[in-house]
Chains A and B, each alone.
Chain A
Amino acid sequence: MAAVRNQPSPDQEAAARKRAMGLLAKATRVELAGAWEALATRPAVTPVRGPETGLVMVRGRIGGGGAPFNLGEVTATRASVRLDCGVVGHGQALGTDGEKARLAAVFDALLQTSEHAAAVERLLDEVAARLKADDARKARETAATRVDFFTMVRGDD
């Protein structure tokens, strides 16, 4: 039973990889390059595809929650790589930074290896913590501009 519990379901695996790829997309190139340099052993990496820059058509929804419509495009860059152990990783992020997309792909692949998964998790936690701190600071700055209405009572009746 214990073995079954430890085995993540395909859904859980997909959710974990989705979270990881989302965080890798939001990592800076400096964060990714730093984490790569900090690895104890660095596997050989061969490019499979890209990096290539293209466009994603961003969709909105009519009225905010209705039928989709095409809002406009955004630049995006993607890359796929293969590690010497054969594992393939995909990286993609907004913008035109090919090296960042390549490094994101490397870390997506490394996350799937038992040897490097822990190091990738550390990187992901760092990125998540930075994003959380940025968001919290912005939220507090926005909160300071919230209007506190008060009512002035005029007259006695």
Chain B
Amino acid sequence: MYVAVKGGEAAISNAHRLLADRRRGDRTLPAIGIEQIVAQLGLAVDRVMAEASLYDRALAALAIRQARGDMIEAIFILRAYRTTLPRFGYSVPVETAEMQVERRVSATYKDLPGGQLLGPTFDYTHRLLDPSLLRDEAVEEGLQRDGEIEPVMRVADILSSEGLVEDDGQLPEGHVPGDLTREPLEFPMERDLRLQALARGDEGFLLALGYSTQRGYARTHPFVGEVRIGEVEVELDMPELGFAVSLGRIQVTECQMIAQFKGSAKNPPQFTRGYGLVFGQSERKAMAMSLVDRALRAEEFGEDIVAPAQDEEFVISHADNVQATGFVEHLKLPHYVDFQAELDLVRRMRREYEERNREEPGEDTLEAAQ
């Protein structure tokens, strides 16, 4: 028999009112604005956009504010919002080779066309707390350097001119890119669908898996061929006009991870690659994604599947933090009836155990009697 339990309405309503109060906090302080979040907590905004799989800085900032800075809650809110909008279509694939680059570094070549461009990076900072940020001190603008801007050549193209690295991943002619927002997940899956899942996957989860491959659980001995951050054009085909039109630009982070060799009777030995592409500025996520992408290609390269990072079903099924938090957090919702059943069961087992022990006392009881 199931008995519905009611009576939470007033408590829930008051709890939400209290949440709004705590979210606003001390009323003597100014409320934080959406523009301030976008401008000054930009990397938090980028993470929410990437894992919600929806690029919109203002909406991501709103979600962060609404979630009191709880990132997964913000991702959840933004992910839920996207289901309310119609889909206009699929963009023309963005061309990262034509990116307006604001950072590009390579760990494989010191001197390369376009150079090592550090951009606005945390690298080489001392990770010491900066007391000047306690006050609102004036901040200098970035320096500018004049001169001809060299095109920023792709590292993959440098290596592939010698045939020493595998090509950009191809799928069979006529393959329609899978879309996990439209079809349920099925395993095994093609690399395109895996990349979509990884691009929206939890940064911490992918970071841990990428780290595990470095520590020997599916070793690939990777090098960062390059990481680049910058803006790319988003174009949409306009059927009524017969050509594609630019809708504007978005910022993305791309990582080309170069991993150890593979050769066969037909193909000479060459480097293999892992690929990462993420909304916004998110180098750690793009790097972790490329490590996991490479590890998940184990079967394609005939490698033994010995580690979690190589297990497609394990990785893809658990990378989505909205799904993960939903299932973990549902445990706190009322399970009164389930638990009552378990309680009855354990009481019966206890009764049976005690009856058995009374009939034939075990050693424990004997010792206790002595």
Contacts and interface: CB of A to CB of B under 8 A. Distances in A.
Interface residues of B, number: 84
Interface of B: 49-50, 53-56, 58-59, 82, 85-97, 100-103, 110-111, 115-121, 142-147, 149, 154, 156, 167-171, 175, 177-181, 191-193, 195-196, 199-200, 233-234, 236, 238, 240-250, 252, 254, 256, 273, 275, 277, 279
B86 A52 contact: yes
Contacts of A94: 55, 234, 247-250
**Which 8 interchain pairs have the tightest Cβ spacing?**
A63-B168, A66-B168, A62-B169, A22-B246, A69-B192, A140-B144, A94-B248, A67-B171
B167 A63 contact: yes
Contact of A146 (B54, B82, B117, B277): B117
Contacts of A70: 90, 177-181, 192, 196
A144 B143 contact: yes
Contacts of B115: 146-147
A64 to B, nearest CB: 5
Contact of B200 (A63, A72, A74): A72
Interface in A58-100: 58-76, 78, 90, 92-96
A95 B55 CA distance: 9
A58 B85 contact: no
A70 B58 CA distance: 22
B352 to A, nearest CB: 56
Contacts of A92: 236, 238, 245, 247
Contact of B242 (A14, A26, A55, A62): A14
Contact of A55 (B88, B142, B244): B88
B141 to A, nearest CB: 8
Contacts of B149: 139, 143
B168 A145 contact: no
